Structure 1
Amino acid sequence: MLSALEVVTTVAVGLMVGVEFSVAFVMNPIFNALPEDSNQQAHSHGGRMLGAMMPVWYIGSLVLVAVWAVAGWHHRGTGLVVTAGALLILSVVMSLLLLVPINNRNKTWTPENRPADWKQQMKRWDRFHYVRVAVIVGAFTLLVTALT
């Protein structure tokens, strides 16, 4: 049963990392290459769509890691799992304090009501997102290492 939990947790976190990596290094560069109105609308739509899905994914992944840490407490690699959990907690805190406030504004913007500094706000979101991606890649790497 523990092996199944380990695999499910690692796959869930890995998929989350893949989505966030794709946002940072594939989708946002595509959006940024679009004309200004389309660029902003794409970011706004992405913010609404992923803003609804990612909190469940982040919290669900964190819960799975916590269950793995408790269930496997006396097994080898638990320290790595606990450290991965700490990194996922950091990613949630970063999200709530740094990224969500910008995203909550962004998802309501239209070409008619966006603020003059919308591009600067999106660049700030991107910088925070790069750090968050690095944090969750670290967590994923620890989980994969704990499997060996």
Structure 2
Amino acid sequence: MLSTLEVVTVVVVGVMVGVEFSVAFFLNAIFKALPEDAGQLGRAHGGRMLGALMPVWYFTSLALSAGWAVAGRHRTGTGLVVAAAALLVVSVLMSVLLLVPINNRSKTWTPENRPADWKEQQDSWDRYHYARVAVIVAAFTLLVTALA
């Protein structure tokens, strides 16, 4: 049973990392290359779509990691799993405190109603997102290392 939990955790966290990495390094670059209105509308749509999915994914990843840490508490590598879970807590806190407030505003923007500083707000979101990606990549690396 523990082996299944370990594999499921690594897969769920790994796919989440892949999605967030793709947003940071591919999708946002694509949106920035589009004409201004199209890029901003694309980001707003992405914010609505992923904004609904990602909270569930982050909390599921955290719950799976915590479950692995508890279930495998007597096994080698548990410290790595605990550290990964702690990093996932950091990623959730970053999301709630830094990224979600910007996303909640930007997902409603259209070319007609966006604020004058919309680009600066998107740039702030991007910077926070890069940091969050680094945190979840580190968590994923710890989980894979614990599994190996």
Q: Which category of TM-score, normalised to the shorter sequence, fits these structures?
A: over 0.9
Partner in structure 2 of residue 24 of structure 1? 24
Task: State the TM-score, normalizing by the size of structure 2.
Answer: 0.99
* CA shift digits 1:3-25 (9 cap, x unpaired): 01000000000000000000000
Alignment of 1:42-61 (within 5 A): 42-61=42-61
Extract structure 1 runs of 4+ deviating beyond 3 A: none
Q: Supply the AA of the counterpart residue of 2:84.
A: A
* Count of residue pairs the alignment pairs up: 148
What CA RMSD, in Å, does the superposition of the two structures yield over aligned residues? 0.3
Task: State the TM-score, normalizing by the size of structure 1.
Answer: 0.99
Structure 1: which 5+ residue stretches go unaligned?
A: none
Q: Supply the AA of the counterpart residue of 2:33.
A: A
* Aligned-partner Cα distance in 1 for 2:77–2:125: 34
* CA shift digits 1:62-117 (9 cap, x unpaired): 00000000000000000000000000000000000000000000001001000011
* Aligned-partner Cα distance in 2 for 1:115–1:77: 48
* Aligned-partner Cα distance in 2 for 1:144–1:10: 7
Structure 2: which 5+ residue stretches go unaligned?
A: none
* Aligned-partner Cα distance in 1 for 2:147–2:64: 14
* Aligned-partner Cα distance in 2 for 1:69–1:11: 16
* Aligned-partner Cα distance in 1 for 2:131–2:64: 22
Partner in structure 2 of residue 4 of structure 1? 4
Partner in structure 1 of residue 87 of structure 2? 87
